[in-house]
Amino acid sequence: MKRLLFTVSLLLSSASIALEKADFVLVKKSERALYLLHAGQPIKQYRIMLGPRPKGPKLMEGDERTPEGQYILDRKNPDSHYYKSIRVSYPNAMDLERAQKFNVPPGHSIMIHGMKNSWTEKQAIQALKFNWTDGCIAVKNSDMDEIWDAVDIGTPIEIQP
């Protein structure tokens, strides 16, 4: 009986450890980190992977860079080619102006996502060691589950250098 009560108590305490809802997401590219915040206080930090050319803002489609600036997380896709995805509202007005100035397409479909669905476990583990996206923000699948639950559509995101 004591063992059963201990097990039930343990299950209840771990179930109540769900993350608080984030009201802001901060990405610091130079730190390779994504922070979930609530009322200005960090809730949790995650290691991220970016594109092979992570320095500097996204200038145009295909440059393998992650944008920098202020955006909104505007759509969730549970059936993405990657393990879940949350879309970043790139391009914003500044991104469009910059692309127009250089007469290049700004790009689109910048996401926070997990690993590629077609990858084996070994491939996913290898992918944690380097920047491999086309400009998206990638995290481990288990981290994506937490982010997915903690972030609502409409949450602001700031991506810093």
Asked if residue 4 belongs to a domain, the reply is no
Q: Read off the pLDDT of each residue in 67-73 and give the average, rounded to a whole number.
A: 97
Predicted pLDDT at 19: 79
pLDDT tens string 143-154 = 999 999 999 999
CB atoms near residue 144 (< 10 Å): 21
Q: Which residue has the tokens 């610091």?
A: 28
Q: Which domain holds residue 130?
A: 20-160
Asked if residue 13 belongs to a domain, the reply is no
> How many structural domains are present in the chain?
1
pTM recorded for the entire structure:
0.86
Q: Read off the pLDDT of each residue in 99-104 and give the average, rounded to a whole number.
A: 95
Asked if residue 9 belongs to a domain, the reply is no
Instruction: Output the domain CATH number for residue 54.
Output: 2.40.440.10
pLDDT tens string 131-140 = 999 999 999 9
Which residue(s) pair with 137 in the sheet?
112
Asked if residue 100 belongs to a domain, the reply is yes
Structure tokens belonging to residue 26: 């901060």
Question: CA-to-CA distance for 29 and 17, rounded, in angstroms?
Answer: 28
52: preceding bond cis by omega (within 30 degrees): no
What is the greatest pairwise CA distance in the chain?
72
Predicted pLDDT at 158: 98
Asked if residue 155 belongs to a domain, the reply is yes
Predicted pLDDT at 78: 96
